[in-house]
Amino acid sequence: MSEAHAPRLLVVGANHRSASLSLRDQMFIDDAMVGAFLGGLKAAGLHEALVLSTCDRVEVWASHHDDDLCARLVAEAFGARTGLPPAALSGQLYDWAGPDAVRHVFTVTASLDSLVIGEPHVLGQVKTAHRLARDAGTVGPELETVLQAAYGAAKIVRSETRIGEGPVSIAAAAVQMAREVHGELGRAKGLLVGAGDMGELVAESLLAAGLSWLAVTAPRASRAESLAETLNAHVMPFESLREALAEADIVVCSMGGRTVQLTTDMIGAALKKRRRKPVFLVDAGIPGDIEPAVNRLDGAFLYDLSDLERVALEGRSGREQAARAARTVLDNEINGFLKGRAGRAAVPAIVALRQRFEESREAVLAEAGTDAALATRLLVNRLLHAPTEAMKGAAAEGAEWKAMEKTLKALFRLD
């Protein structure tokens, strides 16, 4: 990172590509803890920051004048959160500053950096993080400006591309297949295992389609409780998973770990207790959470994300094409924002230049009176005196003259 400079945007955190699931789980900050976490950062000297904490990522978006200090403060805060020294986190944390941080924030907000590209509720997660930071008093002009621009860019991406249709159609396919197994969902009971974003999306769609009862369970109780509150669902202890499986007509698993969470033996035992009453299972984990052999059990109907994509008639090529189109639109929005910001950065210098010229004009008029020729000659000489001396000095030095000459020709259109 660079040396100290004017305040600018920074991002420090870990996501599904940089860090293990276990570390992200340790780093996870639920809504109730965000205020205290941001308060700690503020006390340490980071006055403008928000926390985005999801199953995909745990990040701090901040504004500070010293990139290195900001990265260190956030790493120390995450270290205190996990009980790990910053050195142990360094290989799994990333940091972005300036235009790179802006690009990251725009990309995340437009849901182009998620496990499943185009997740429609990512924007809602960012807005929640924004609100919590505002409540904590840690949103300033830099964050506010970037966030509002990112929201606008995300809206344009949604309206001009088909990027949002993939995840929505997956959830719609899950509802369709659940109805084929159980008919109308008003009498069905659901179980959401894990707190992954795709699982939450499927659960939301099932509830909207009439699912009468839903329970949420996860290894980390606080995450289950937070998600259950969001979905207006019940909480089941993770230790009671086997019993909960026996009660569920619809099971959505969204752990996204590296090991199978629901085995054939577990589902077989649940079916036995259910007297072979069928169960519809959605494996929304990336990688998968449910043992594929479950599909061979009588009464078990297992669909993973690929199955649901096929049901929804949306192939991978179509989604990738939409993603490419979305990235092109987003790139245009990012470049426009950065260009506009760079232009605004010149405003103070322009104001100072105009003020200096106006002072010179007033002094010349006071000296020359009504003699227009004298006034204009004096004004030109005085305005050119300091630049002329600077150019002579630069030409004598040699090193800076070529750049100065090029700038001079561009400013006054001398070519």
Q: What is the DSSP string of 9-22?
A: EEEEEEETTTS-HH
Instruction: Using DSSP, state whether 49 is helix, strand or coil.
Output: strand
Catalytic residue positions, numbered: 55
Instruction: Using DSSP, state whether 328 is helix, strand or coil.
Output: helix
Cβ atoms of residues 204 and 120 within 8 Å: no
Amino acid, res. 210: G
d(CA 285, CA 183): 25
3-state helix, strand, coil in the chain (%, to 5): 60, 15, 25
| CA 328 centroid distance within chain | 18
The radius of gyration computed from the CA coordinates of the chain, to the nearest angstrom, equals 29
d(CA 52, CA 31): 10
Cβ atoms of residues 77 and 44 within 8 Å: yes
d(CA 241, CA 290): 14
Contacts of 66 (CB under 8 A, 6+ apart): 4, 5
Instruction: Using DSSP, state whether 48 is helix, strand or coil.
Output: strand
Which candidate, 304, 205, 172, 199, places its Cα nearest to that of 253? 199
> Which stretches of 271-359 are assigned E, i.e. beta strand?
279-283, 300-304
125 strand-pairing partners = none
Q: What is the DSSP string of 213-248?
A: EEEEE-SSHHHHHHHHHHHT-EE--GGGHHHHHHH-
